[in-house]
A and B are shown apart, each in its own frame.
Chain A
Amino acid sequence: MSQIMGQPVTETFDDVAPPLLAIEQLGKRFGGFVALDTVDLSVPAGQRLGLIGPNGSGKSTLVNCISGTLQNETGSVSFGGRRVDGVPAHQRARLGLARSFQLPRPFRSMTVAENIRVPLLYTVGARHGVHLTSSELEDRCLEVLSLVALQDKAKKSPLDLTQVEMRKLELARAMAAEPKLLIADESMAGLSHSEVEDIVALLIRLNQRGITIIMIEHIMRAVMAFSQRLVVLVSGRKIADGAPDDVIKDKDVVGAYLGT
């Protein structure tokens, strides 16, 4: 972890290039409860963004609105220069937007490899209009699984996996869709120190392959090791956005976490 934490932050936050993801004035209510209140967020391609906030601050709602699991009520979501609000989740996936779920949601009746086959068939295949043969599919499944060191479990049921393996499968399924943007929603909750290190290292490796990543996390050492930029959400509002070291010293952020 230390060498990761020691990595210099080399990026700049200039907005010259058109952002991969642009969220403007995003709003979402659940009855009388305002989950998201006019959130603006612009993510350039290739960035590693950490999204933090106390429980109930709207992080998962934001992910759900970006990925299409929920539809936003006000504001807009654009991805790759195209408005995607109102677009169903599966089409957003085909555009290159992948997400993992906070609680792993494997396809229980399938094997680990078959879980990976789904996005290969329905996202990658549909995107390029290609028909992969079954041996090609098998190779690709194993290739993706080897990224998360699950290749030996390919034939197992997801229900036989450990907690960390299940979370790796969740990430692998999102990665298999060959996304431009990957949103990892609390991929590390409940994991040990070394398991957290594994996943952070994996996410950084993916980022080095050109995938933009938004990571939502409570484990601060993981957030600090991973993020080039940190955004803090409190009560559905963005209260801080910037370089991680600056953001964690921000008195609003400290106040929100410590209640002062």
Chain B
Amino acid sequence: MRTPLFTLILLAIAAALYLAFRVIGNDYLFFLGYVVLQYVVIATAWNILGGYCGYVNFGSAGFFAIGVYSTIFFYNIGQSPEDVFPEFMLAPMAWIFPLPLPVLIVLGGVFAGLIGLGMGYLTLRLRGVFFAIATLALAVVLETFIVNWSFVGGSRGAYVIPPESVPVFGTFIQYLFVLMLLLAVASLAAARLIERSRLGIGFATIRDDELAAEASGVPTLKLKLIATVLSGALFGMAGAPFPFYIGYVEPNSAFNLSYAVNAIAMPMIGGTTSWIGPMVGALILSTLQQIVTVTISSAVNLLITGLLLIGFVILAPNGLVGLWHHWTARRSNS
């Protein structure tokens, strides 16, 4: 199926989902849906580097937080431009600020993509566990930086006050939900396109055997940098609307370990070699987490993630997609 058609189908499903939620008319569904879709984007982002190229990134929370804090940064500028700009610039800046949310999402993606490029240059000569440790260290460095940067709230955190209502969409959470829905559609379409392109074949050779890839003419370093930029940018875009969703952000919530753990667990549970895996993993795991949050406690979330991850690593190392392929192959053989 061609990418434009595939994207149209995804958009149709997204529109149907949105309309169904509107018909039900419970705002909680939009809150829940936002989180689930956010994880679809996060899992897809992780999978571009982790699944396609085989480079395990433990620093996902750092990239997510770059998106979050890029929004805080521009929001704060919009709140008090007189503290930032000289007086003659205030009038033109009043036209630009406050920046609309879609622009903030793009900016979050740009910044996280740039940090991804920097991280790639610094760390991509490392392999396996060393790369993973380096990405974890990067997240810690970024958190320390944010904690000590008072303009974005430092350790005490920052408030973002979303508007009460938005034209067309009604409540602000519906607007946020639709934006995240579109972001999820875009990231899935991009992941599927990559997977089937020359780029995706190059990524797979890196995952399988980097020396053989180079010997076959694959420019591995360049491709890995492309992967870190794409993956970082998607993380940043997933994080950018978060301050508007949560209202109050502090470093602990933006750099929360749960993002890093879920970003790894969801593709692993779904399956890492195709775009479907992260989506399925994110839908199942984050829906489960939302149900548990309501019925038991949010503290159980990571426990569930951990247990499922252990179970899948032992019983189905190729995730649900791997299990599916295994079953269909067996059925066709018999």
**A joins B in a complex:** yes
Q: Are A107 and B208 in contact (CB under 8 A)?
A: yes
* 7 examples of A-B residue contacts, CB within 8 angstroms: A69-B215, A93-B216, A94-B217, A108-B208, A121-B198, A122-B219, A173-B212
Contact (Cβ within 8 A) A107 B204: yes
CB contact list, B197-225 vs A, under 8 A? 198, 201-202, 204-205, 207-209, 211-221
- Partner pick for B215 among A89, A106, A109, A114, CB 8 A cutoff: A89
Across-interface contacts of B221 in A (CB, < 8 A)? 88
CB distance from B242 to the nearest CB of A (A): 34
Asked if A167 is at the interface (CB within 8 A of a chain B CB), the reply is: no
Q: How far is the CA of A119 from the CA of B220 in the complex (A)?
A: 13
B289 at the interface (CB under 8 A from A): no
> Residues of B contacting A174 with CB < 8 Å?
215
Shortest CB-to-CB span from B183 to chain A, Å, is 28
Residues of B within 8 A of A27 (CB): none
Q: Which residues of A contact B213 (CB under 8 A)?
A: 90, 107, 118
Note all chain B residues with C-beta closer than 8 A to A101. Answer: 211-212, 215
Instruction: Quote the shortest CB–CB distance from A209 to chain B (angstroms).
Output: 20
Using Cβ atoms and an 8 Å threshold, which residues of chain B touch A126?
217
Q: Decide: A177 and B211 in contact? CB cutoff 8 A.
A: no
CA distance A68 to B208 in the complex (A): 19
Contacts of A29 in B (CB 8 A): none
Q: Which residues of A contact B219 (CB under 8 A)?
A: 88, 90-91, 122
Known pairs A94-B217, A122-B217; A114 contacts B201 (CB<8 A): yes
Q: Is A71 engaged at the interface, CB distance under 8 Å to the other chain?
A: no
> Is the CB–CB distance between A177 and B207 below 8 Å?
no
User: What residue of chain B has the Cβ atom nearest to residue A125's Cβ?
Assistant: B198
Task: Choose one: B198, B205, B215; the contact of A67 (CB below 8 Å).
Answer: B215
Candidates A91, A108, A177; contact of B216 at CB < 8 Å: A177
Interface centre among B201, B217, B221, B273 (most CB of A within 10 A): B217
Contact with A along B210-253 (1 / 0, CB 8 A): 01111111111100000000000000000000000000000000
Number of interface residues of A (CB under 8 A): 30
In the complex, chain B residues whose CB is within 8 Å of the CB of A91 = 219
Q: A99 interface residue, CB < 8 Å from B?
A: yes
Closest to B202 in A: A122
Q: Which residue of B lies closest to A114 (CB)?
A: B201
Q: Which residue of A lies closest to B222 (CB)?
A: A90
A88 engages B214 (CB within 8 Å): yes
Question: Which chain B positions have C-beta within 8 A of A109?
Answer: 204, 207-208, 273
Q: State the CA gap A109–B195 with chains docked (Å).
A: 13
With most chain B CB atoms within 10 A of its CB, the pick from A67, A98, A107 is: A107
Interface of B, secondary structure class, is helix
**Any B CB within 8 A of the CB of A154:** no
Decide: A177 near B217, CB < 8 A? Known: A109-B273, A110-B204, A121-B198: yes
A118-B214 CB under 8 A given contacts A109-B273, A110-B204: no
Is A117 in contact with chain B by the CB < 8 A criterion? Answer: yes
Majority SS of interface residues in chain A?
helix
Q: How far is the CA of A117 from the CA of B212 in the complex (A)?
A: 13
Size of interface on B: residues with Cβ below 8 Å to A: 20
B204 touching A90 by the CB < 8 A rule?
no
Which A residue sits closest to B214, measured CB to CB? A89
With A67-B215, A69-B215 given, can you name 4 additional A-B contacts, CB distance below 8 Å? A88-B219, A89-B215, A90-B218, A93-B214
Answer whether residue A105 sits at the interface, using C-beta atoms and an 8 A cutoff.
yes
Q: How far is the CA of A137 from the CA of B212 in the complex (A)?
A: 20
Q: Which residues of the other chain, A, contact B215 by a CB distance below 8 angstroms? A: 67, 69, 89-90, 93, 98-99, 101, 174
Q: Given the complex of chains A and B, what is the CA–CA distance between A117 and B216 in angstroms? A: 10
In the complex, are the beta carbons of A105 and B205 less than 8 A apart? no
Question: C-beta contact mask, A108-147 vs B, less than 8 Å → 1, else 0?
Answer: 1110001001110111011000000000000000000000
Residues of chain A lying within 8 A (CB to CB) of residue B220: 90
Task: Give the one of A90, A109, A110 with max B CB within 10 A.
Answer: A90
User: In whole angstroms, what is the CA distance A93 to B218 when docked?
Assistant: 9
List CB contacts (< 8 Å) of A20-47 with chain B. none
Shortest C-beta distance, B304 to chain A (Å), equals: 29
List B contacts of A117 (CB < 8 A). 201
Q: Which residue of A lies closest to B218 (CB)?
A: A122
In this complex, which of B198, B214, B216, B220 has the most chain A Cβ atoms within 10 angstroms of its Cβ? B216
User: Which residue of A is nearest B206, CB measured?
Assistant: A107
Q: Is the CB of A105 within 8 A of B218?
A: no
Q: In the complex, are the beta carbons of B212 and A106 less than 8 A apart?
A: yes
Kindly state the separation between the CA atoms of A174 and B205 in the bound complex, as whole angstroms.
15
Contact A90/B217 with A109-B204, A109-B273, A118-B201 known, Cβ cut-off 8 Å: yes
